[in-house]
Structure 1
Amino acid sequence: MPIQLSNPAGVHAPGAYSHAALVTEARTRLVISGQVGLTPEGELAEDGSGQIDQVLANLAAILAAHGMDRSNLVKLTAFLTDAALVGPWRGARTEWLGGHAPASTLLIVAGLADPRFLVEVEAEAAA
């Protein structure tokens, strides 16, 4: 596997993420645009938890379309419009990743491209 996740000495212990993801000898790098909670039919869940679930489903579909899975993720960047979604996001992310802990950034933002969007997540993967 060309991905080495690490938490070097001299840096605080992370939660369910890694401080660094070293990608060596990768033949493929996949950069995924920010995903929102839209279904393939263009429907949007009204609540944050529903949007989080759909975002993760969208990421899984994009990874699979490129012959990858969650273990190939090296970086997640999540944008939430409400701090109350931090707990649901962390719980869903941890369960979805199943012990894999890529580098991760979480931001609380004033808004996204459409005011109905509560969550957006972009990602990078390598194989």
Structure 2
Amino acid sequence: MPRFFNPDTMPKPASNYVQAVEMASPGRRLIISGQIGVTPDGEMLAGYREQAGQAWRNALAGLAACNIRITDIVAIRVYDVAPGNVSAYRELRDQFLEGHAPASTYVIVAGLAHPDLLTEIEVEAFSEH
């Protein structure tokens, strides 16, 4: 089972994530490509909360397809195009992860693959099952 922790020698996290995750084999590692605010039928949603919510639904669907649980997520990487969305991102992250706190990186970028995209969320998981 991955060990989620905050070493005393590192700064305390600014929100609900951990500074380190240690994984040991045997197990399965799953990396979900960056997910965006596009529905499975191809519709790009409008607005930050709508896109971020859909990106989370897409990422969690990838976990479900491999029978991997939310608590198996060990790292998240988020790329947003506007700095004013961090509070909304944290709220949605906490809602979708149901309190689980993996390692986390949040980056503001100049743009994503399409000019209407506002966020992209990449997820990494490790399961012993």
**Shared fold (TM-score greater than 0.5)?**
yes
Is 1:109 paired with 2:101?
Answer: no
1:12 corresponds to: 11
Is 1:90 paired with 2:82?
Answer: no
AA matched with 2:2: I
Q: Deviations over 1:24-52 (max 9, x none)?
A: 23420001111101000100111010001
Aligned length: 126
Distance 2:58 2:118 in 1: 15
1:58 corresponds to: 58
TM-score by length of 2: 0.94
User: Any unmatched runs of 5+ in structure 2?
Assistant: none
User: Any unmatched runs of 5+ in structure 1?
Assistant: none
Distance 1:26 1:59 in 2: 23
2:42 corresponds to: 42
Distance 2:111 2:74 in 1: 25
2:80 corresponds to: 80
Using the TM superposition, give the Cα deviation of residue 54 of structure 1 relative to its aligned residue in structure 2, in angstroms. Answer: 0.1
Aligned-residue sequence identity (percent) comes to 37
After the TM superposition, which parts of structure 1 deviate over 6 Å for at least 4 consecutive aligned residues?
none
User: Which secondary structure does the structure 2 equivalent of 1:113 belong to?
Assistant: coil
User: Which secondary structure does the structure 2 equivalent of 1:61 belong to?
Assistant: helix
TM-score by length of 1: 0.96
RMSD of Structure 2 on Structure 1 (CA): 0.9
Q: Deviations over 1:99-125 (max 9, x none)?
A: 210000000000001011100011110
